A and B are shown apart, each in its own frame.
Chain A
Amino acid sequence: DTEVTQTPKHLVMGMTNKKSLKCEQHMGHRAMYWYKQKAKKPPELMFVYSYEKLSINESVPSRFSPECPNSSLLNLHLHALQPEDSALYLCASRPILQGGEQYFGPGTRLTVT
């Protein structure tokens, strides 16, 4: 199984809502990533988890709250978002010890109204 799955595929939320994005992989990868991609722009790194611990936070606003409850699962909790946060949110995973490339999921397309 070389797949990273993300749910939901699409999400529309209001600025006062709380929602969560979910990412799952069963490849035994111990590094997991969240990226944000605005329309016609490249992906931008948000967070990196290594062995279920937050390793890198690219100065992301606190309305985005990541969580890695176990080695297969990565969540992104969303609260009080702004319309400019509308984007494609991509998850990726990567093995740490043996190296290798990042495997990306298909993304969740988020619209904030």
Chain B
Amino acid sequence: DAKTTQPTSMDCAEGRAANLPCNHSTISGNEYVYWYRQIHSQGPQYIIHGLKNNETNEMASLIITEDRKSSTLILPHATLRDTAVYYCIVRVLLFGNEKLTFGTGTRLTIIP
């Protein structure tokens, strides 16, 4: 399974953009990058995913480099409720089943 590397922790001021980097240098050509977050004591929540093009939804934007070896999740206007652990995951399909291998994640703290 392709491994991901993320900073252990980051701080961001409320109202500013939070940029969370992720390295996935061993990703294969058909593997997607997924981002989930986990707010304390809750189940993980899906944020966004992408293959090679940049993606945007109501929660965030995902920028994937052209060589696909790294990506950045952008929360455009961070709020206190965005404080969470953010996981960057390379999704694997095993026997047709989706397998998510969570890395250690980045603990993002939004500062008032």
Residues of A in contact with B (beta carbons under 8 Å apart): 4, 31, 42-45, 48, 50, 55-56, 90, 92, 94, 101-107
Which residues of chain A are near B30, meaning CB under 8 Å? none
- Cβ contact within 8 Å between A55 and B102: no
Which residue numbers of B lie inside 8 Å of A, CB to CB?
34, 38, 42-46, 49, 87, 94-105
Is there an interface contact between A90 and B95, defined as CB atoms closer than 8 Å? no
Of B38, B46, B103, the residue contacting A102 (CB under 8 A) is B46
Using CB atoms, name the residue of chain A closest to B89.
A42
Instruction: Provide the residues of chain B in CB contact with A103, threshold 8 Å.
Output: 46
> Contacts A50-B97, A56-B94 known; A104 to B45 CB distance under 8 Å?
yes
Interchain CA distance A106-B41 in the complex, whole Å: 8
CA distance A31 to B42 in the complex (A): 21
Partner of B44, one of A31, A45, A56, A90: A90
20 contacts between A and B (CB under 8 A): A4-B43, A42-B102, A42-B105, A43-B38, A43-B44, A43-B102, A48-B98, A50-B97, A55-B96, A55-B97, A56-B95, A90-B43, A90-B44, A92-B43, A101-B46, A101-B49, A102-B46, A104-B44, A105-B43, A106-B42
The reply to whether B43 and A44 form a contact with Cβ atoms under 8 Å apart is: no
Shortest C-beta distance, A43 to chain B (Å), equals 5
Q: Is the CB of A44 within 8 A of B94?
A: no
Q: Which residues of A contact B101 (CB under 8 A)?
A: 45
In the A-B complex, the 3 residue pairs with the closest CB atoms? A104-B43, A42-B102, A101-B46
B103 touches A101 (CB 8 A): no
Q: Is the CB of B102 within 8 A of A31?
A: no
Using A92-B44, A106-B42 as known contacts, list a sample of 20 further A-B pairs with CB atoms less than 8 Å apart, ordered by residue number in A. Answer: A31-B97, A42-B103, A42-B104, A42-B105, A43-B38, A45-B99, A45-B101, A48-B97, A48-B98, A55-B95, A55-B97, A56-B95, A90-B43, A92-B43, A94-B98, A101-B49, A102-B46, A102-B100, A103-B46, A104-B44
> Within 8 Å CB of A48, what residues of B?
97-99
